[in-house]
Structure 1
Amino acid sequence: MAFKASGAGYADVAAHFRTLIQNGELTPGDALPSVQEIREQFNVSAKTVSRSLAVLKSEGLATGRGSLGTVVSSRPRVASTGAARLDRLSRTGKHYAAGESSTDHVALLRSCADPDIAEQLGIDLHDEIAIRRRVFLQGGRPTVVALSCLHPRALAAVPELMQQGQLKPFWQTTYTERTGRTVTRSPERRGARLATNDELQALQVQAPPTAAVPVLVLHTTFHDEEGPLEVWEDVYAPGLWQVSGSV
């Protein structure tokens, strides 16, 4: 990727390397190019390079390492949003960023007791839905408790959604192949609430039993031409930066 001097700024340079890190093209411990190499690549000033590297360091994606210059952090305190995970999968075919993994993949049938989820799915409260739950980790550390809340139409077309364990390929790909319907997503919605005890346990957050621990929650709703199809609810461990789908 290259930019003209008149159009490149420190945010552009930071975004370039942020994307390489998020896509796994730069992995923990890898050295970023030198200041001079970045200057030549983007045709920018040393000050612009310095500001862009400072952004990456402030985000926890990179760190200074003496004679090595700037390197990718060994355990960056970042977690992908749902949109970023989908964008990465589309661009690279990779389900995970560098150092990322997932565990505890569980499929359930449950009554939908959350009014917000019911509204987003266009169903009545306490209607039965399929739920897929998993925990994302970065460097072995839990970062996100992720729920997929699925409309019965999704389960009718892709009964494999009730399989336990990780499901591949991505179920929406299978849905489109079987139904001919394109799945689109709405913009992410950010909110906050208090974590449940189960979420704190999954995220390995140590807190007194009576403590109130606020967490960031992102909702992403998916649709086809018949209406809502799926809602992702991502609950983030406290203190993390989120890498969005816009990078």
Structure 2
Amino acid sequence: MPSTGYTDIAAHYRRQIMDGTLAPGDAIPSMRAVTEKFGVSITTANRAFRMLKNEGLTVATSGVGTVVASRPRVAFTGAARLDRLTRTGKEFAAGETSSNHSAALRSCADPDIADQLGIDLHDEIVIRWRVFRKDGKPTVVALSCIHPRALTSVPEVLQQGQLKPFWQTTYRERTGRTITRSPERRGARLASNDELAALEVEVPASAAVPVLVLHTTFHDDEGPIEVWEDVYAPGLWQVASD
């Protein structure tokens, strides 16, 4: 049986924080309790605690010990949100909300998105836009670029406002097709003015603001069906599910 490493312990508590099982201000079990629970040394437990602290998920509090940070500088990936929804049925982590939901049929002018969707540049796609917030503060501008063939089975993807249930769930139910997810791709670029406005970043008009960008592509048996583009607010860590 493989031994438990400090990254496994950190992943265990990271998932609990992401799922809301451990809320801001909640205490993490003591280091001694962690060593007993996982059968590891105090050194291994300490490394796990340090990893969570360095990610901005926890803080040390005098007289209490290690607690979940009240305003962690962390934004979870779209894949992590999907994993949480599958595991717990919870759409949001503690303190998380979304706003600015909108949808439109637009020409795809981004060569990378067109390539990922397997379409020609300037073909029409469905674009869904939303902003994720943590404790009211914008953290992620999320863009869903959906292949137009999805409209045949789920015309609701052009509906304004938040879609419930998740449109891919409806697509699977109506078509019987399985949707799979490719590994996330991470990169960086300069934020557009619209993205800076949505993230409430105030800078001079001539300023160049680099942002972390993450792409996730989804496929069914006919090919690519959707691409997520997540743009993260400056100063945030980005953490996957594990």
Q: TM-score, normalised by structure 2?
A: 0.97
Distance in 2 of aligned mates of 1:77 and 1:172: 29
Pick aligned residue for 2:147 from 146, 151, 154: 151
Pick aligned residue for 2:53 from 52, 57, 60: 57
Q: The residue matched to 1:181 in structure 2 has which SS? A: coil
Distance in 2 of aligned mates of 1:226 and 1:25: 38
Shift of 1:9: 2.1
Pick aligned residue for 2:85 from 89, 100, 106: 89
Amino acid at match of 1:224: D
Deviation sequence 1:152-181 (CA, Å, 0-9, x none): 111221111111111110110100111111
Q: The residue matched to 1:152 in structure 2 has which SS? A: coil
Shift of 1:83: 1.1
2:37 counterpart residue number:
41
Shift of 1:52: 1.2
Q: Are 1:241 and 2:237 an aligned pair?
A: yes
Distance in 2 of aligned mates of 1:10 and 1:224: 36
Deviates more, 1:142-151 or 1:117-126: 117-126
1:134 counterpart residue number:
130
Distance in 2 of aligned mates of 1:122 and 1:36: 53
Pick aligned residue for 1:77 from 42, 65, 73: 73
Q: The residue matched to 1:67 in structure 2 has which SS? A: coil
Distance in 2 of aligned mates of 1:123 and 1:36: 55
Q: TM-score, normalised by structure 1?
A: 0.95
Query: Please, which runs of 5 or more residues in structure 1 have no aligned partner?
Result: none
Query: Please, which runs of 5 or more residues in structure 2 have no aligned partner?
Result: none
Amino acid at match of 1:232: W
Q: CA RMSD in A?
A: 1.2
Shift of 1:111: 0.8
Distance in 1 of aligned mates of 2:68 and 2:184: 27
Distance in 2 of aligned mates of 1:101 and 1:233: 18
Deviation sequence 1:35-82 (CA, Å, 0-9, x none): 221121112222222221111111110001111111000111111111
Pick aligned residue for 1:210 from 196, 206, 209: 206
Q: Are 1:15 and 2:11 an aligned pair?
A: yes
Q: How does 1:112-191 map to 2 (within 5 A)?
A: 112-191=108-187
Amino acid at match of 2:164: K
Deviation sequence 1:177-232 (CA, Å, 0-9, x none): 11111111111111111000010111111211101111111111111111111110
Deviation sequence 1:89-148 (CA, Å, 0-9, x none): 111111111221111101111111111111111111111111100001112111110000
Name the % identity.
70
